[in-house]
Structure 1
């Protein structure tokens, strides 16, 4: 119910944006504020990047895809979201060796190359996260989607509390904003009401499958978009509800290659 097991790494990218660490606060008016929409969006975390006719927003992996792909997205008239994992350690990332061993917790269930992070003591690895966010800004992304921000309700190997998760999530959001980008709340449905004021939009997986979509209504009520993806349900089972909720919803395979892609909003017809 999230990203694929393993992606390669481009080690030089972290070093390339080290100069962006000391970010100054950005005006809220300066970055993207996605409004509620039912328009088509695209999610690509594996494979060669492909432009998808009709997609108005793309989410791609921050490490895997170069700035040239972000520029291609912008040339198409769409926005680009940078995928980053901020709640678990991934052994295949170029900065993996920089994390303190004491910050690594239990293995993420189903993902043996990942371990939960001790976000209660996030200052131990805060500089690493700052570099990752700076990388997204350096590549020209419009927004960041920080993944795995719900360790408090999982078997993390630490006794994480809801309050500790809120503190960490708000810190992440502030770091993204300081670098001039919008920030998404990924899942963490039980803390939506406390966090909707800190995040600019939501990215949600399988909320129709698990009957959790109502928890994200506060985003739409606040004039903020919800980008939703289903992996198992056919579009006929969730698209009418998504349209009614003003969610931008798609059906994808869980591996998140460019295809298949089934948006609830049909792409505009081409002429020629």
Structure 2
């Protein structure tokens, strides 16, 4: 899916993320104090991870649209750090200003591979993003749009406006739990912004985890709810991924993975999504001529 001339727009959250690592073999417990083996501060958030992962696969014309905290003196330190880091990678950054602090996330990575990571947010700006004329203008002319993390109604509104202005482009929606719940509920209503986006063909590609797919499939209605989405990529953790295509005949391709030692997997899903878009010449042709995407 790499394109030297095409534009890619990525919408989503961006955070300053601090990961705290426990020593190997040490799990966390409310009654046990454990020393930290290391601390890493990085740029995180699903939107930022999507943009960085796409850039790593060779995309060279990326606009990243997010929210940045603003004080009386301008963008705060976190917003400036995110912008500088991503612009050094060649990614153009637009931060919609919000009075307050840029998102901060603290992750505890257990030394016990059986324990999941723990995340704590200092602030959450995902529901503060608004669809403005400026946002629309930055998205309309992109031939690939990847949206994530923001309010489901907002992403559906962007998808609706994008499809009206650009009938040939690819709009990909990266789900989280709240958007999966909203999509599941939208099936009961004929004319909401979300039902139009999903069932009305505004969304070209759905990117979901196994848990998010299960949320949509609560009443065994996943196939009906997502019938208007041509391509669905489901990440399955250590079990790999599955890709479902609907282009005349529906079929699913399951791709297993190899066992790996437990690591900080923040951004792993976004890296999988980016490599999916970049994977084959067939994907490049589909991006140009639509094929299964539309």
TM-score normalized by the length of structure 1 = 0.44
Q: Give 1 or 2 for the bigger CA radius of gyration.
A: 2
The structure showing larger relative contact order (alpha-carbon pairs under 8 Å, at least 6 residues apart) is 1
Q: Compute the TM-score of the two structures, normalised by the length of structure 2.
A: 0.41
Quick check: which one's strand share is greater? 2
